[in-house]
Structure 1
Amino acid sequence: MSVQERFTRYLVEGQLCKAGERILLAVSGGKDSVLMAHLFADSACAVGIAHCNFRLRGAEADADEALVNRLARQLDVPFYATAFDTAAYAGQRGISIQMAARDLRYEWLETIRASQGYDYIAIAQHQNDHVETLLLNLVRGTGLGGLRGIQPKRGRIIRPLLFLTAAEVAAEVSRRGLAYRDDASNFSTKYARNKIRLDVIPKLKELNPALERTIAANMTHFSDAYIVLQRHLDDLRSRLFVVHEVEGAEEWHIPVAELMALDPQPFLLYELFKPYGFTEAVLGDLAAALPGISGKRFSSPSHTLYIDRDNVVMRRNRAAADEVVAIGSVGDRVSWGGHRFEAAISTDMAIQTDADVAQFDAGRIVFPLQIRSWRAADVFYPLGMAGRKKLSDFFVSLKIPVYRKHEVPVVVNGNGDIIWVAPYRMDNRYKITSETKKVFTLARL
């Protein structure tokens, strides 16, 4: 079977794309991407060619672009090109040149794909890239998902050359007599991937000359095992993660006893909570704390876990504990932790009974106001209650769980007084009286 026939079969069996769909080809000018362009040109798909000049190799990079431009003209397909100041981008963000180039490339390719009406972006990675990715993941540390290597299709990205080894690519390019350019940086071992390719894989091939095929077959097994695991985890989540709605926000209650009974616990605990951004270290702390004391918190960038008696409660983060939002004047609309507030002033003295509306004596309001979460030293004078009260004690009196108190908006006057714990109680000192001339209203929308 010819490479062209194997290519067509791989597209169909992998459901990478269908006849008639438009594919944007990322072509660097190297042998892999040049071969991919020719294979697609002889397929039933409509294609365009896109090339990035990262301005890292001077005249060499310009020559790469010229070759790809000629290739697009030869195949009579649309050509898109761009150039980046990759070094400056990397420096501004404190990332490696390789990472900067990757970010810039994928962002631009997606922009072209969407704006020009292409269905997919094709990347010319082959089986050796597949193997290198697995070995890099193993060296750096990975879970079962990382043992799958490169996925042939992910979202709008397809990789239609994963069925070919590097040697097969080189042989087909030679057979067809295709023009291409080598990037000298591919032969420098200062990059981790190149070190794997040039130093590690040749040694491993002394033990197994068919290394690429063997590892590719193993990655297929790993991928199948990963699918089985994900189905089991989905079943576990549907059984253990009980959804509750509290004040319009979802939270999940997971029985502590069920988490303690997981076997193997560290592995399953991590896999269950990994989609919510929790690290192995944080989940190790959670496991060590079970059953634990109510109120203990474990955080990820997007979610927070709390131990609450017989359950671990998980909620989406609505606001960072140190987030402060200012209300600078009447008419301002601001957001804090998923809550929206609007400030207004009027001479209407009619009392509103809506808990989401607080009315104050405007003469006592000092701008800017602040909205923040509670702090340990916070006190206020709750309307309808005698004297001063610690905010922490106020939460206890309302039976607000420890894990939710950081999500309650606290409105602070410009003079430092707390005037509203929204939507529970405003401060008695700022209520409307017979001497009030204007009413300042703050509504939680």
Structure 2
Amino acid sequence: MLEKFKKHVDLDLPFLKGKRLLVACSGGGDSVVLAHLTQRSGLDMALAHCNFGLRAAESDGDEDFVRRLAEQLGVEVLVKRFDTEAYAEKNRGSIQMAARDLRYQWFQEVLEKEGFDFLVTAHHADDNVETFLINLSRGTGIEGLLGIPEVNGKTVRPMLAFSQDEVMAYAHSEQILWREDSSNTSNKYLRNRIRHEVVPKLKELHPTFLQNFMRTQSHLLQTHVLMDNHIQTIKAKLFVENGGSITIDIGELERLQPTAAYLYEVFKAYGFTEWDDVHHLLTAMSGKEVVSKTHRLLKDRQHLILSELESIPKRSYLIFENEEQLDLPLNLNLEDVNSIEKSGQNTIFMDKEKLNFPLVLRNWEKGDYFYPFGMQGRKKLSKFFKDEKMDVVSKEKQWLLCSDNDIVWVVGKRADERFKVEDSTRQIVKITWAT
């Protein structure tokens, strides 16, 4: 197995050579074999062991064993002890999930602080089968059927190409010692039930089940790559950047068949889970929306608008007359001037004596109106926005500069007639929005 392992690294994982590797080692057979294979392959490595304190003296025995193994292999060992039960209780999760979270959080910290390049774990082909069956039993898309990735960011699993039988055969032939985890024999957990009851039956039904499974997963992975490339092409065509949000033509979406499958693929990266609601947006009234933890998908006439949720709640900001303005959402500059220069969308000139300081910068609200510069009479902002062909997201992001309750400037769009400079004006203020 050692030569096969070396060849696998040479051909498929050459980037591991010359890098500092952190090998996760529980003390069990799989991880101990991985430690021996990595060291005997001449790779630069250290061991990392987590003591979750769940099995009293047995957990401490695992820690002592890994420390002695590191000494035997002549490599560094890093050990971390956790209060796993307290973490699980605090986060209202299972012990298994708590251990997983703690383990990978610590591994990430060690990678960053100690200068390791990759985390190497001992997952093998049988682990992949178990993950496949767990995901299949719970209901999953094609991603769940792909199982455990061999390379995922800085985590590498070089033993996925080997069966557990191969791993154990190598351990016995090389007289490698390891620790047995008593929890692995219990059928309390779903993974153990699948490991002890389901997978052996599948292997019994078909002697080459594992090899066939690995071949099928390879085909699935290739299919997934093809599909992902197609979806990226579709998104490049449909997704139109528009002022910090993305606009998607509904008619173009509806022409994609099957529509529900395409909706899932193009929007899954944005955290949505209520896919029936997403589908219903295509025929919903304008203003309807679906929200994930990070994004909003909004129906606006013949388009869907995808935008990130604002991290800062909307609020009002005061702008004082003669003080530097801090923490404004816009870079506004107020300057006393003696004459009017050329105005533009980002610069206005106002009669300062008509303004009541502090000015207020706020978002628009239903019922707002102003007197558009150069026109007679007032106009509701909702009508002004419609004439400007602004979508819902743009309207929500629009800022208003106000004096008391009166709008001075629809920032970047139109000034208000009531505050304009006239022949009788004695003080002029120039207001500039530096975009």
Confirm or deny a common fold (TM above 0.5): yes
- Select the residue among 133, 139, 142 that pairs with 1:141: 139
- How far did 1:42 drift? 0.5
Q: Does 1:423 align with 2:418?
A: no
Q: Aligned partners of 1:94 and 1:370: how far apart in 2?
A: 42
Residue 38 of structure 1 deviates from its aligned partner by 0.3
Taking the aligned partners of 1:315 and 1:295, their CA distance within structure 2 comes to 13
CA distance in 1, matches of 2:173, 2:42: 22
| Aligned ranges 1:170-181 → 2 under 5 Å | 170-181=168-179
Aligned to 1:241: 238
Unaligned stretches of 5+ residues in structure 1: none
* Map of 1:263 onto structure 2: 257
By how many angstroms is 1:37 displaced?
A: 0.4
What's the CA shift for 1:258? 3.3
Of residues 18, 21, 30, the one that matches 1:20 is 18
Do the aligned partners of 2:296 and 2:309 also contact (CA within 8 Å) in 1? no
- Does residue 1:111 correspond to 2:106, yes or no? no
Separation in 1 of the partners of 2:181 and 2:74? 25
Tell me: CA distance 1:11–1:298, structure 2 relative to 1, closer, same or farther (3 Å): same
Q: Contact conserved, 1:331 with 1:343, CA < 8 A, in 2? A: no
CA distance in 2, matches of 1:436, 1:140: 74
**CA displacement at 1:331 relative to structure 2:** 4.0
Aligned partners of 1:53, 1:177: CA distance in 2, in Å? 25
Aligned twin of 1:334: 327
> For residues 400 and 9 of structure 1, do their structure 2 counterparts lie closer, same or farther at Cα, with a shift above 3 Å needed?
same
> What is the aligned partner in structure 2 of residue 126 from structure 1?
124
Shift of 1:131: 0.7
Q: CA deviation at 1:101?
A: 2.5
Amino acid at match of 2:175: G
Q: Secondary structure at the match of 1:13?
A: helix
Partner of 1:208: 206
Partner SS state of residue 176, structure 2: coil
Structure 2 counterparts to residues 48-127 of structure 1, below 5 A: 48-127=46-125
RMSD: 3.6
**2:281–2:289 contact (8 Å) kept in structure 1:** no
Distance 1:158 1:397 in 2: 56
User: Does 206-215 or 28-37 show the bigger shift?
Assistant: 206-215
Contact 1:296–1:307 (CA under 8 A) maintained in structure 2: yes
Aligned partners of 2:188 and 2:405: how far apart in 1?
56
What code does the residue aligned with 1:316 have? S
Between 211-220 and 117-126, the greater mean CA deviation after superposition: 211-220
**Equivalent pairs, count:** 427
Task: Return the alpha-carbon distance in structure 2 between the equivalents of residues 174 and 417 of structure 1.
Answer: 84
AA paired with 2:133?
A: L
* Aligned partner of residue 15 in structure 2, secondary structure: coil
Instruction: Show structure 2 runs of 5+ residues with no match.
Output: none
Counterpart residue identity of residue 364, structure 1:
N
Shifted more, 84-93 versus 341-350: the winner is: 341-350
Change in 2 beyond 3 A, CA 1:63/1:429? farther
Q: How far apart, CA to CA, are the structure 2 residues paired with 1:84 and 1:416?
A: 57
Deviation at 1:428, TM superposition (A): 6.9
Decide which moves more: 60-69 or 290-299: 290-299
Could you tell me which residue of structure 2 aligns to residue 398 of structure 1?
388
Task: Give yes or no for contact 2:372–2:379 (8 Å, CA) kept in 1.
Answer: no
| Per-residue Cα deviation, 1:52-86 (whole angstroms, up to 9, x for no partner) | 22333333322222211111111111222222333
1:319 aligns with 2:313: no
Determine if the alignment matches structure 1 residue 381 to structure 2 residue 375. Answer: no
Residue 105 of structure 1, CA deviation: 2.1
Code of the aligned partner of 1:262: L
Give the secondary-structure state (helix, strand or coil) at the position aligned to 1:168: helix
Task: Tell me the amino acid that sits aligned with residue 381 of structure 1.
Answer: F
1:408 and 2:398 aligned: yes
